[in-house]
Amino acid sequence: MTRDKEHISNPKALLFSLCFVLMFSVMNGTMFNIAIPDIAEAFQLLPSEVSWVMTGYIMVYAIGALVYGKLTDTIALKTLITFGLIVFTIGSLIGFIAPNYLFVLVARVIQAIGGSMIPAIAFIAPIRYFPNERGKVLGIISSVMAFASGIGPIIGGTIAGLLSWQFLFLSSALIIITLPFLRKNLPDEKTEFVKLDYLGASLVAGFIVTILMAITLGQVISFGFSLVFLILVFIRMNKAANPFIPPHLFRNQPYLVTLIVSFIGVACLFGLMFSVPIMLREVYQLSTLQIGITMFPGAMSAALIGRKGGQLVDQKGSREVFLFSLLLLLVGFFIVSSTVGVPPLYLALCLIFPMMCFPLVQASGADLLANILKDRETGVGMGVFNLLNFVSGAMSGAIVGKTLDLYKPNLPINPLGLEGTGSIFSNVYLTFSLLIMIGFVIFKYFHKEEQRKAG
């Protein structure tokens, strides 16, 4: 395939279009968190029933991100993005006119089938078309993801409050307006239809579905099924002539170490995003709008730091920036752990420290993997990276949620923490800080910079 930057008619327009479509995709996930109570009320649903609006979406999205990642190695991005955006828009329109809950679920699944293409392409395009500015572009992409995650609940709450939850689907459908710009600015590439390992893909999908059901719904039997699927996945990887996921990826120590430490960092960041709204409601009794305003400075800082962080990746190297971002994240979690219970204004300022690390961790981690992977493995390698990001988010949210339900300490473990109802949250963020420290040590001593991309 033709992959050089000079074959892009307008690189800035391509980057802007990618960021715009990525923002819509990320916001589509976070906006519906706000609408869950309204959907439950509209169709008289139990919490376990309405949770499938998010759970079903996450499952299909995670599988799709890996499948699209694999396809980007052989199919033109212009083809994939056209298919994905059309399917996503169809799902959005179905959701807007949905007469019952079944149609809502079908709409969310169709959205996920189309939308899961977006993160795969968003991380592949900078690697493929911006080789000399890869770090900067990955930083911009990551900052857009972080900003959209923070602003999504505010926009979702505003739309659902002023209109209704159905209009969240309609606003998501606006993503289609980016398609002409993306098609115009993406180069024409030759598509090579290679036979996929459908059995391997099905086994991977089975593992993802069962592990996410086990994590998000607390189904113990699903852990057993996920273990069976995982064993079958490894058998298939080593037996198939052209496996869905090449097994030698996981025998590459720098790749494996980067995946593990990125998983830890992203899990802690998603755990923060999940728990802060709960903390602000329980400890500070803030309204939904006030919660969004309190988190907004952190989201803005992530958006602003992304481009600068990406430039640092290009200038200083992804390994150094990755280590620095882990240290900054460690300090940020400790600061938040020490300040839970202080006035909301001060807490909002403290939240900036860990939240600004989101694009740094994502951009430097993606650039590290791009350095390690061979050209023909970039798609599937980054697909696994995206997949683990979704799994880490689901896992951290479920674990933090269970911890908040079962653990009610009176005193914080952190000697600088404040006593009271915020003790549990102080302890959670201190735990995140310790996990990041472990990740830092693993990466520092087991990731060897001299082991680089082979070609």
> What is the pLDDT tens value at each position of the chain, 455 positions in all?
444 444 566 777 888 888 888 888 878 777 776 677 778 778 887 756 776 777 778 778 888 888 888 788 778 888 888 999 999 999 999 999 988 989 999 999 999 899 888 888 887 887 778 777 777 788 788 778 777 776 777 787 778 777 888 888 888 888 898 888 888 878 777 766 667 778 888 888 888 888 877 876 777 888 899 899 999 988 988 888 788 888 888 888 888 999 999 999 988 988 887 788 778 878 888 776 677 778 778 877 877 776 677 777 777 778 888 888 899 999 999 999 888 888 888 888 988 888 888 788 888 888 888 788 776 777 778 778 877 877 787 778 778 877 877 777 777 888 887 777 778 888 999 999 999 999 999 998 888 764 444 44
pLDDT at residue 208 in the model: 83
pLDDT at residue 8 in the model: 64
* DSSP annotation of 130: -
Token duo for residue 264: 């830890």
pLDDT at residue 90 in the model: 95
pLDDT at residue 12 in the model: 77
What is the rounded distance in angstroms from the CA atom of residue 183 to the CA atom of residue 85?
11
> Which residues does 235 contact at the CB level (< 8 Å), separation at least 6?
none
CA–CA distance from 314 to each of 10, 120, 136, 371 (Å)? Answer: 21, 21, 7, 12
Q: How far apart are the first and last CA of the chain?
A: 15
pLDDT at residue 5 in the model: 43
* DSSP annotation of 410: S
> Which residues does 118 contact at the CB level (< 8 Å), separation at least 6?
21, 22, 25, 81, 84, 88
* DSSP annotation of 187: P
The closest alpha carbon to 306, from 432, 148, 116, belongs to 148
Beta strands in 384-428 (DSSP E): none
Helices 318-339 and 423-446, axial angle in degrees (round to 10): 160
What is the rounded distance in angstroms from the CA atom of residue 167 to the CA atom of residue 169?
5
